[in-house]
Amino acid sequence: MEANILFLSALSIGFIHTIVGPDHYLPFILMAKARSWKIKKTLFITFLCGVGHVFGSVVLGAVGIAFGIALHKMEIIEGWRGDIASWMLIAFGLAYGVWGLRLGLRSVKHEHAHQHEDGNSQEHSASHQHKHHHLGGHAHVHGNGKSITPWALFVIFVLGPCEPLIPLLMYPAAKGNWLDTAWVAVGFGAVTIATMMGMVFILTNGVMKIKTEFWERYMHALAGFIIALSGFAIRFFGI
C-alpha cells in the first residue's frame, strides 16, 4: 500500500513539477519557431533533454544514497545545480536574443539611390532606387540549418535539477526498498518527459501558425529574450 502511494506521488509530482516550470518546455517551443524545426525534430530534442534532465538527478540521488549523504545536504547540492542552470539559461537567452536582434535588423530591406551610366552617347547619368538588406547571400532570417542550440539546451537540462525527485528516491532507499526506489525513478522520469513532450507538441502547433512580418523577422530575438526571462523568473522568483 505504501509503495503504491509513493509511486502515485512520484507520478503526480512529476507532472505538476513539469507543468508549473515553463523552462521545461518554453525553450523548445521558441527554438522550434525561430529555427523552423519540424515537429519530429523538436520532440526528439525535447526527449533527449528530458532524459538528461531526469538522469542527472537520478545519478546525484544514487551517489547520495551510496555515500549516505543526508537529505538536506543533497537538497543544497540540487539548489546549487538549479542556480547554475538558471544562470546558464539567462546567459544563453541573452546571447541568442542579441544575435537574433542583430540578424533581424540586418534583414530589414531599405532603399538606396544608385547612379548609373545610361549607355547613350552623351553619357549622362540616370538614377534608380534599389532595395536590399545586409544579410549575406545565403543567410536568411531563420539562421543556419546547423547550430549548437540543441547541444546548449542539452547541457543546461542535464545541469538543471529535478528538486522533488531526490526526497522521493531517498525515502524508500533509506528503508532498503531498492525496487520501490527504481519504480519511483522510472515513474517520475517517464511522466516528466511525457509532459514535456506533450506541452511542446500542443503549444508548438499553435506558435507555428502565427505569421506576421515582425514576428518572423525578430523571432530569434524574441525567443532568446523570452528564454532569458524564464531563467530570470526561475532564479529570482522560484517559478
Instruction: Tell me the per-residue pLDDT of 92-148, one tens digit each, with 9 for 90 and over.
Output: 999 999 999 999 898 765 454 555 555 454 444 444 554 544 444 444 444 444 567
Is the pLDDT at 162 greater than 80? The verdict is yes
**Cβ atoms of 156 and 89 closer than 8 Å:** yes
Mean pLDDT computed over 172-176: 87
Predicted local confidence at residue 82, as pLDDT: 86
Cell of 23: 523552462
- For residue 67, is it within any domain? yes
7 contacts 188 by C-beta, under 8 angstroms: no
Residue whose cell numbers read 522533488: 164
pLDDT at position 202 is 94
Assigned C-alpha cell, 182:
527504481
Distances (CA, A) of 225 to 58, 130, 150, 200, 221: 31, 33, 17, 19, 6
Within a domain: 203: yes
Whether 118 maps to a domain, the answer reads no
Better-scored residue on pLDDT, 239 or 189: 189
Query: Within a domain: residue 117?
Result: no
Q: pLDDT band for position 199 (50/70/90)?
A: very high
What is the pTM (predicted TM-score) of this model?
0.80
Q: Of 3 and 134, which is predicted with more confidence?
A: 3
Q: What is the mean pLDDT of residues 213-233?
A: 89
**CA 60, 193, 182: angle at the middle one, nearest 5?**
45
pLDDT tens digits along 56-104: 999 998 998 888 888 888 888 888 888 899 999 999 999 999 999 999 8
Do residues 220 and 143 touch, judged by C-beta distance below 8 A?
yes
Which band of pLDDT confidence, cut at 50, 70 and 90, is reported for residue 157? very high
What is residue 107's predicted lDDT score, i.e. its pLDDT?
Answer: 74
Q: Can you give the pLDDT at residue 28?
A: 95
Q: Please give the single-letter amino acid code of residue 32.
A: A
Cell of 163: 528538486
Please report, in angstroms and rounded to a whole number, the separation of the first and last CA atoms in the chain: 33
Domain of 173, in residue numbers: 2-108+147-237
- When the pLDDT of each residue in the chain is averaged and rounded to a whole number, the result is 83
* Amino acid code (one letter) for 151: W
| Cβ atoms < 10 Å from Cβ of 212 | 9
Least confident of 36-40, 202-206, 232-236: 232-236
Q: Compute φ and ψ for 124, nearest 5 degrees.
A: -100, 160
Contact yes or no for 32/149 (Cβ under 8 A): no
The owner of cell 546558464 is: 88
Q: Residue 108: its pLDDT value, please?
A: 64
Count up the domains in the chain and report the number.
1
